[in-house]
Amino acid sequence: MKIGNKGAILVLSGPSGAGKSTIINAASDEIGEYYFSISTTTRAPRVGEVHGKDYFFVTKEAFEEDIKAGNFLEYAQVHGNYYGTSLKPVREALEEGKLVIFDIDVQGHRLVRAKMNDITTSAFITPPTLKELEKRLRERCTDTDEVITRRIENAKEEIRAVGEYDFTIINDTIAEAAKEFVIVAKAARLKQSREDEEAFIRHWLG
Amino acid sequence: MKIGNKGAILVLSGPSGAGKSTIINAASDEIGEYYFSISTTTRAPRVGEVHGKDYFFVTKEAFEEDIKAGNFLEYAQVHGNYYGTSLKPVREALEEGKLVIFDIDVQGHRLVRAKMNDITTSAFITPPTLKELEKRLRERCTDTDEVITRRIENAKEEIRAVGEYDFTIINDTIAEAAKEFVIVAKAARLKQSREDEEAFIRHWLG
């Protein structure tokens, strides 16, 4: 039995093309109920993107008001657009005891750690090598050469932060990566908040 | 695939009577090969205790020489007797890629963290309450009243360190506790050393 009934946070980072969504989908039957955090952004929706599924699309003014009101768990500005994670749905999911999964970058991970370190577990998911990442990005044919080059440059930077994560999942085969992800997600659920620990000690002593 | 082939450390602490051995035995089929670290002590063997199984029994002189030679991962003096963990068998098991399990106290956990933090995972195992601990200690009829009183007093101190551990396993039922222990042990195996991470980054960048 773990201490307390609150949920916990699992942060996933890693280059676009690492296979994060594929791994989560392959593991989803085994990891139990979770809430996949949806980011809020001021960038325009791309063809096929759905508000409330891919992102919450909002105006720059609305985003900046939310910043001032302290409504973001983490946010950043990239290429002139804001991206962030609203606190409210995360808090609600945690209250309901759910595992909250984030797909955010290295900088976002640092901000979540700074605010909710005691209930946070993190994993960096990556293809075995930079070469393999490039191969996969070219094979999926969804990005222009320019976008692929930018993703590669980002990945070269982000890999250096691998030591900041609790776990690294090297996505060599989906089956093996999904098996490891199940262990990481189950371990993440067992994390308890400092607050719950203090209440437990009082209860334990009687 | 995890980074590197080295083993990892799992520290278990918790009051005598928490059911640590029972939980490990119940989980052992599922957690794979492990090395259970055997402590070295200068106290006299009790009836039935076997050298090399329960403890390595050595003289005070031999123990103190090993201290001077830096051969202990952690050691302490309790009631005039030395207790410690020799580095050599731990290093060998780690080189062989094994999970090394320690059953040590709160102070021992701090020393292992100080020396091998990057590959260490820890769990505090405890009965649901102090009352339940006392009941279990009385029921197993292996200790005198005096020993039980000392164990209870120790437990009251040790429970305060619960927040220093990665996980708490509340041993309410053996079946549930063993299930959680399997998750913790599997997660512990996925921990990678800082050294392996640095080698991985170099390899990854190509």
* Tens digit of each residue's pLDDT (9 = 90 or more) over B156-205: 999 999 999 999 999 999 999 999 999 999 999 999 888 899 999 999 99
Q: How close B53 gets to chain A, by Cα (Å)?
A: 31
Inspect the interface and report whether the beta carbons of A162 and B201 lie closer than 8 Å.
yes
pLDDT at A47: 87
Predicted confidence (pLDDT) at residue A2 exceeds the cutoff of 90: no
- For residue B59, what pLDDT is reported? 97
Please say if the pLDDT value at position A87 is more than 90.
yes
CA distance A200 to A204: 6
Report the residue of chain A nearest B3, measured CA to CA: A168
pLDDT digits (tens, 9 = 90+) for B65-103: 999 999 999 999 987 899 999 999 999 999 999 999 999
Tokens at residue B76, please? Answer: 């302490």
Set of chain A residues whose Cβ sits within 8 Å of the Cβ of B126 = 204
Residue of chain B whose Cα is closest to the Cα of A156: B205
Q: How confident is the model at residue A155 (pLDDT cuts 50, 70, 90)?
A: very high
The partner residue sitting opposite B129, judged by closest CB among A129, A170, A206, is A206
Nearest one of A165, A164, A169, A166 to A180, comparing CA atoms: A169
Confidence of residue B143 (pLDDT cuts 50, 70, 90): confident
Question: Looking at CA atoms only, how far is residue A8 from chain B in angstroms?
Answer: 13
Using CB atoms, which residue from A128, A159, A184 is nearest to B205? A159
Least confident stretch, A62-71, A181-190, B135-144: B135-144
Please give the model's pTM, rounded to 2 decimal places: 0.90
Q: Which of B165, B172, B133, B167 is nearest to B150 (CA)?
A: B133
Cα–Cα dist A90/A39, whole Å: 11
pLDDT value of residue B13: 96
Cβ-based contacts of A1 with chain B (< 8 Å): 128, 169-170, 172, 176-177, 180
pLDDT above 90 covers a percentage of chain B that reads 85
> From the CA of A64, how many Å to the nearest CA of chain B?
37
Residues from chain B contacting residue A164 (CB–CB below 8 Å): none
What's the pLDDT score for residue B170?
A: 95
* Residues near A90 by beta carbon (within 8 Å), at least 6 away in sequence: A9, A35, A37, A73, A100
Q: Given an 8 Å threshold on Cβ–Cβ distance, is B190 in contact with A206?
A: no
Q: Which pLDDT score, from 0 to 100, does residue A102 have?
A: 95
What pLDDT does B167 receive? 95
Q: Are B41 and B26 in contact (CB under 8 A)?
A: no
What are the structural domains, with CATH classification, of chain B? Answer: 8-37+99-205 (3.40.50.300)
Mean pLDDT throughout A145-172? 94
**A35-57: average pLDDT:** 93
Confidence of residue A133 (pLDDT cuts 50, 70, 90): very high
Say what the pLDDT of residue A92 is. 95
pLDDT at B118: 92
Structure-token match 């921990």, residue found: B191
Long-range pairs, B153-156, Cβ under 8 A, ≥24:
B154/B15, B154/B16, B155/B15, B155/B126, B155/B130, B156/A205, B156/B130
pLDDT at A178 over 90: yes
Contacts of B3 in chain A (CB under 8 A): 162, 168, 170
CB-CB under 8 Å, B126 with A201: no
Please report the pLDDT score of residue B110 as a whole number. 95
User: Is the per-residue pLDDT at A1 higher than 80?
Assistant: no
Token pair for residue B14?
A: 């918790």
DSSP states of B55-98: BEE--HHHHHHHHHTT-EEEEEEETTEEEEEEHHHHHHHHHTTP
Per-window interface: B 162-181 vs A, CB < 8 A:
162-163, 166-170, 172, 176-177, 180
Closest residue, chain B, to A181 (C-alpha): B187
Whether residue A3 is predicted with pLDDT greater than 80 in this model: the reply is: no
pLDDT band at B47 (very low <50, low <70, confident <90, very high): confident
A128·B162 Cβ contact <8 A: no
A–B interface: beta-carbon pairs under 8 A: 102
SS3 A148: helix
Judged by CB atoms within 8 Å, which residues 92-151 of A form the interface with B?
A: 126, 128-131
A62 in contact with chain B, both atoms CB, cutoff 8 A:
no
What average pLDDT does the segment A77-81 reach?
87
The reported pLDDT for the residue numbered A41 is: 96
| CA-based nearest distance A21→chain B, Å | 17
Of all residues in chain B, the one with the smallest CA distance to A204 is B129
Angle formed at CA A44 by CA A47 and CA A152, multiple of 5 degrees = 80
